[in-house]
A and B are shown apart, each in its own frame.
Chain A
Amino acid sequence: MPASRRILVPLVAATALALGLAPPAFAGKTLDAVKARGEVICGVNTSGPGFSSTDSKGRWQGLDVDMCRAVAAAALGSGEKVKFVPLNSQQRFAALQSGEIDILSRNTTWTLTRDASLGIVFAGINYYDGQGFMVPKKLNIDSAKKLDGATVCVQAGTTSEKNVADYFLANNMKYKSVVFDTAEAIQSAFFAGRCQVYTTDMSDLAGARTQTSKPDDYTILPDIISKEPLGPAVRRGDDDWFEITRWTLNAMLEAEEAGLTQANVDKMKAESKDPAIQRLLGVSEDTGKLLGLDKEWAYRIVKQVGTYGESFERNMGPKSALGLPRGVNKLWNHGGLMYSPPVR
């Protein structure tokens, strides 16, 4: 037997064996798959300060990360039973469509095209944002209308790419676009000076500015040129999982509205006489049963992850590195847009 055949046969056999050890496939509903697997697979951003990023020890944190942990706490009992899969803007929808991830919680804008034609459906809005521009301070620009002729860095395949084209067309301005597929590549090009303008969601701009060694050299223009409602998305056709995701977000909002916090939820569960709180925390009624969960689903969310307000403050509030004001993301009864249907 020649040498090459002697190598070939065991090599091929070993390769086939290894490839055959790919993780088992699941036909059926997402909730069953998640329960059988024992963890929720969450698609997040490769680096989105405030939304999903890793700290120096490799632990994920952010608003979107908290969303996934909340779903895991509700469905599986613990917010730690999550596997995070970082995705760039090219892969995110394909990963969700193909079943590689269960939830896409990756500061993704909810648009008609995405809702209707990609086989996914948005479960809610966890951050109301808008698109803006960032320019170097030394160019002395104070308004987006003065950007005629600029070179603009934008990420491929995002709503930002389309919005900036529309904006410049509508205002009869010309620009040159420089397009990359990862946020890191764009930020690298912008901070190196390849382009003079960086455009993406305002929250992303704030996060990007924390990633440079000289944040004060850059200014974010006040103009907001589009609506960017960011929220988690799940696969179309799986209503149970959709409901769980939607009501997890709503529970976090309801909890904040009811005045609960991570610190006081145990006390409130034991002592509160407010019927709304009793219902939410599973003391008087079992709302979880209707979702396919147990009755303490909302209690676990608040206990392990916190309310929406706590999550916001922790990850992007005025005391965090991003320092964003709550703005339109306040609750409806404090002048913002966050309104949850009642959990009953």
Chain B
Amino acid sequence: MPDPALAPHFLRTRRGRALIYQALALCALVAAGWFLWHNTAENLAARQIRSGFGFMRQPAGFDIGETLFAYSSRDTYLRAFAIGVANTLRVALLGIVLATVLGTLVGIGRLSRNLLARGLCTAYVEVMRNIPLIIQLFAWYLVITELLPAATEPLRIGPYVFLSKSGLQFPFPDLSGGWTLAVPEVGVFGITGGAAATPEFLSLLIGLTTFTAAYIAEIVRSGVLAVPRGQTEAAGALGLSRVLTLRLVLLPQALRIIVPPLTSQYLNLTKNSSLAVAIGYPDVVSIANTTINQNGQALECVLMIMTVYLAINLVTALAMGWYNRRVALVER
């Protein structure tokens, strides 16, 4: 039995030191937090900026170009933010679906035996991954607004679908009254009626899709390549064609490897949709930007944007986590 008189002082033991370090860290954190809080309070008072979330109940006073549900400039800031969140989700969900489809196709194309297909897909992946997204968005936006015809003389695709500088306009069920189909028609200022995919939405969607699809293509390709060669050889021995091998043997097993990095690409797409503020699409960041400019309450608005994105990230991560567990290897 060790002699208790020889035991070291508590503060010299591991537990003691751990306590000291944590106490010091806590003090430092609290001091820093107090310092920042104090400065903020002083600055807000000096500049006479209101604080608190009371402004959310005030009428917004500005209009929003694209709304999923009814909104007018007399509605509150809270409703404006809700519209922003709805717009973000709209472009993120569509983007995720389209990017997955395109990315899988391009990834499989990179594995093709055909040199042209392989070369084109490789070129696509390399070009898209090495050019910043914001440049791609600006380029798409300028291409769409400069090269499409004016809204008063649109390109007609079929009887009711119009493509012009005001975007893609198509018939959509009118949910407000009855179940009629709202059909777009050409008027003095362009096209009224129906639903519209504005150039801002289109360029954001196309930009995000093509950019993220390049990363997803790489993930799919490395996932398929990571399946042991024996699987491919066994499938060949069974007489399966390449397409059937891919579909029945390789992709299902590759899913396990693909899903975690795919999750982070989905999260990246959602976060990248915040670049909408650069091309004028009214997502939640853009609306927060306008709000900060109208009433100066930067702290509250930035906190709200961060909360929105963290919530979306959490939900996506949970959903993909559930899917991941479903496709995981069931060990003996």
A residues in contact (CB < 8 Å) with B: 89-90, 93-94, 97, 113, 116-120, 139, 147, 149-151, 156-157, 161-162, 164-166, 168-169, 175-181, 185, 189, 192-194, 196, 235-237
Question: In the complex where A149-B192, A162-B73, A196-B189 touch, is A93 in contact with B48 (Cβ < 8 A)?
Answer: no
Q: In whole Å, how far is A45's beta carbon from the nearest beta carbon of chain B?
A: 15
* Known contacts A149-B192, A192-B145; A177/B49 CB under 8 A: no
Q: Name the contact of A94 in the complex, choosing from B64, B72, B152, B298 (C-beta under 8 A).
A: B298
Identify the stretch in B3-11, B126-134, B285-293 within 8 Å (CB) of chain A at 4 or more residues.
Answer: B285-293
Residues of B120-164 whose CB lies within 8 A of A: 142, 145-146, 150-152
CB–CB A185/B146 < 8 A: no
17 contacts between A and B (CB under 8 A): A94-B296, A117-B48, A118-B48, A118-B295, A120-B47, A149-B187, A162-B62, A165-B62, A165-B73, A168-B63, A176-B166, A177-B64, A177-B65, A178-B280, A179-B64, A193-B145, A196-B189
Q: Does B50 contact A (CB under 8 A)?
A: yes
Query: B190 near A: Cβ within 8 Å?
Result: yes
Q: How far is the CB of A94 from chain B (nearest CB, A)?
A: 7
Tell me which of A150, A175, A192 contacts B63 (CB under 8 A): A175
Q: What is the distance, in angstroms, from A213's C-beta to the closest C-beta of chain B?
A: 14
In the complex, which residues of chain B have a beta carbon less than 8 angstroms from the beta carbon of A150? Answer: 189
B238 CB–A CB distance under 8 Å: no
Q: Do the beta carbons of B200 and A156 come within 8 Å of each other?
A: no
Q: State the CA gap A104–B64 with chains docked (Å).
A: 28
CA A189 to CA B151, docked complex, whole Å: 13
Show the binding face of B for A, using Cβ within 8 Å: 46-50, 61-65, 72-74, 142, 145-146, 150-152, 165-166, 187-190, 192, 198-200, 277, 280, 282, 286, 289-290, 292-296, 298
Bound: A182/B199 CA distance, A: 18
Chain A residues near B72 (CB-CB < 8 A):
169
Q: CB within 8 A of B62: which of A161, A185, A196?
A: A161
User: CA–CA, A145 to B36, complex, Å?
Assistant: 51
Contact A97 B47, CB 8 Å, known A151-B189, A165-B61: yes
Chain A residues in 8 Å Cβ range of B289: 90, 156-157, 181
Task: Check B293 against A156 for contact (C-beta < 8 Å).
Answer: yes
- A90–B293 touching, CB < 8 Å: yes
B150 surroundings in chain A (CB, below 8 A) = 193
B166 touching A151 by the CB < 8 A rule?
yes
Chain A neighbourhood of B64, CB < 8 A: 177, 179
Collect the chain A residues with CB atoms within 8 Å of residue B292's CB.
90, 157
Q: Contact at A162–B61, with CB atoms within 8 Å?
A: yes
A119 to B48, CA, bound (A): 5
**Bound CA span A89–B62, Å:** 15
Residues of A within 8 A of B48 (CB): 116-119, 236
Instruction: Write the nearest CB–CB distance from A180 to chain B, whole angstroms.
Output: 5
What is the count of residue pairs linking A and B with beta-carbon distances less than 8 angstroms? 115
B282: which of A89, A179, A192 is its contact (CB, 8 Å)? Answer: A179
Contacts of B187 in A (CB 8 A): 149
Is there an interface contact between A118 and B73, defined as CB atoms closer than 8 Å?
no
4 A-B pairs with least C-beta separation: A119-B47, A157-B293, A165-B73, A162-B61
Beyond A151-B190, A179-B290, A193-B150, whether A119 also contacts B49 by CB under 8 A is yes
B290 touches A156 (CB 8 A): yes
Name A92's closest neighbour in chain B (CB-CB). Answer: B293
User: Are A192 and B146 closer than 8 Å at their CB atoms?
Assistant: yes
Residue of B whose beta carbon sits closest to that of A194: B145
Which of A117, A157, A194 has most chain B Cβ within 10 Å?
A: A194
Contact A118-B49, Cβ < 8 Å, known A94-B298, A194-B145: yes
Assembled-state Cα–Cα distance A55/B142 (Å)? 27
For A162, list chain B residues within 8 Å (CB): 61-62, 73, 294
Given A149-B187, A151-B189, A196-B189, decide whether A237 and B46 contact each other with a Cβ distance below 8 A: yes
The residues of B that contact A118 with a CB separation of less than 8 Å are 47-49, 295-296
Contact B290 A166 (CB under 8 A): no
Give bound CA distance, A189 to B295, whole Å: 27
Determine the distance from Cα of A22 to Cα of B282 in the docked complex, in whole angstroms: 36
Known: A156-B289, A161-B62, A176-B65. A169 touches B73 (CB 8 A): yes
C-alpha spacing A181/B295, complex, angstroms: 16
Partner among B65, B192, B277 whose Cβ is within 8 Å of the Cβ of A181:
B277
A156 and B281 CA atoms in complex are apart in Å by: 12
Instruction: Please indicate the chain A residues that have their CB under 8 angstroms from the CB of B298 in the complex.
Output: 94
B45, closest chain A residue (CB): A119
Whole-angstrom CA separation of A166 from B290 in the bound complex: 17
B84 to chain A, nearest CB (A): 12
- State the CA gap A151–B200 with chains docked (Å): 13
